[in-house]
Amino acid sequence: MTTTLLPARRKDQPRDARLADRRSRQDHPSWFLWPALAMLVIFFFTPTIYNFVYAFTDWSSFKSEIGFVGFDNFVKLLQNGSLLSDLRVTLVYAILVAIFQNLFGLGLALVLERDTRINRFARAAFFVPVIMSALAVGYVFQAILKPDGVLNNFLTTLTGGEVSIPWLGSTTWTIVVVAIIHAWKWMGLSMLIYLAGLKTINEEVIEAAQLDGAGYWRIFKAVRWPLLAPAVTFNFATALLGSMNGFDIVQATTAGGPGGSTELLNIFIFRTFGQGLFAQATAMSLVLFLVVALLAFPVIIYLRRRERVL
């Protein structure tokens, strides 16, 4: 897209400039775009458009014909309580993940800020979960958090009394536990972005604050935190919107249980699709798409505005 992003050639430009302009255009022939564009169209645009089209049909595994049914699927979904309750669960989950992931990531970035050998190693270590398979992470935590799992055994040894807390068995708190697992998996990424943000802060500003007699917390609150605003925007938005699409970790740890208290919309979609109600599942994923889009704009606009104010 480079070529199209250049300013349009203006008549009043000097001839040399126009020539240079043309030459720079010729540096990047438009067909360079085609492979990437083809990938984008085939693997992104097309499925998205299908997602819009099939949501208005009665496509299912039960019969061969596909007919348009208008807004039927959406009407039924709204009548069915599951959609709204799953959307609520999804929203709560996303907010929890965004909070935890940023807390963990920022904490790690501050602790591992200095470029010592140990810190470099620790940064790499905390980044490992990011590149791990989410399903594997889910299954590992499921084993750790079982009533007779590693965590309870550890707590039993620590406290001396028998501890058998069903970490994944509470209809109230399990969603928090699962959100923490999600945040744990992705905190390395947030840490990296916060580290990059901290590095961009001018040393002189910090020095000036120190000369003014500000302590660590005062500098953090008044200088570094405001200057980290772009990193906060990125981290918070990606964590929130990314976990709206969460599926793998929750599927592996609780599969939506106990009692549907961690049933994200994607798990519901997966279940519906697997039962052969393809059109209904598509309609749900369209709803999710719209909700994420509707959420994205105000969140990003708010965080951007916040950057400017700070």
Partner 1 sequence: MRKSIAGFAAAAAFAVVAAGCSDPTTAEAPDSSSSAGGEMAAEQWPAQDTSRDGVTLTIWAAQNSTQTAESVATEFEELTGATVNIETIPDPYEQSIQTKVATGDMPDLAFWQPTASMLTALNAKTNLQPLDGAPWVDSYTGSLADMTGLLDGTRYAALVTTPAVEGVYYNKDLFEQAGITETPSNWDEMIEDADTLKAAGITPFYEMAADRWATQWWVQVQLADAAADGLWDRVNANEETFTDPTILGAIENYKSLIDDGYFNDDIKTATFIDQGNALLDDEAAMVMQVNSYFGQLQSLTDSATLDEKVGFFPISPSGNVGTFIPDQSNAVVAFATGDDEREATARQFLSYWLGDGYQSFVDTVETVSLQDGVESPAGVPMALQEVAASLDNSVGSMQALAIANPDLYIYLADMIQGTKTPQEVAEATQQQFAEFAAAQGAAGF
**Residues that bind partner 1 in the complex, under the rule CB under 8 A:** 3-4, 30, 33, 37, 41, 45-46, 49-50, 53, 57-66, 76, 80, 82, 146-147, 166, 168-169, 171, 255-261, 271, 273-278, 280
Cβ proximity to partner 1, 165 vs 291, nearer residue: 165
Is-contact 2 28, C-beta < 8 A?
yes
Least Å distance, CB 1 to partner 1, is 8
- As a whole number of angstroms, the distance between CA 177 and CA 145 comes to 9
Alpha-carbon torsion (109, 111, 116, 118), positive or negative: negative
For the CB of residue 66, give the shortest distance to partner 1 in the complex, in Å: 5
Question: Cα separation of 170 and 180, whole Å?
Answer: 15
Measured CA to CA in angstroms, residue 135 lies from 12, 29, 56, 185 at distances of: 60, 42, 32, 11
Q: How far is the CB of 53 from partner 1 (least distance, A)?
A: 6
Q: Cβ closer to partner 1: 243 or 262?
A: 262
3-state secondary structure of 215: coil
Q: At its nearest, how many Å lie between partner 1 and the CB of residue 287?
A: 16
Which residue's CB is nearer to partner 1, number 107 or number 166?
Answer: 166
The 10 Å Cβ neighbour count of residue 290 is 10
Which residues partner with 68 through β-bridges?
57
Helix axes 174-199, 229-244, angle to 10 degrees: 150
- Least CB distance to partner 1 at residue 261 (A): 6
List alpha helices for 61-133, DSSP H: 72-79, 81-111, 117-131
Q: How far is the CB of 289 from partner 1 (least distance, A)?
A: 16
The tokens for 304 are: 């951007």
25 or 304: CB nearest partner 1: 25
Rounded least distance, CB 273 to partner 1, Å:
7
Of residues 130 and 255, the one with the C-beta less far from partner 1: 255
Between 143 and 222, whose beta carbon lies closer to partner 1? 143
- The residue among 2 and 13 lying less far from partner 1, judged by its C-beta, is 2
Helices H, strands E: what count in the chain? 17, 0
Q: φ, ψ for residue 57 (rounded to 5)?
A: -120, 180
> Which amino acid, 307?
E
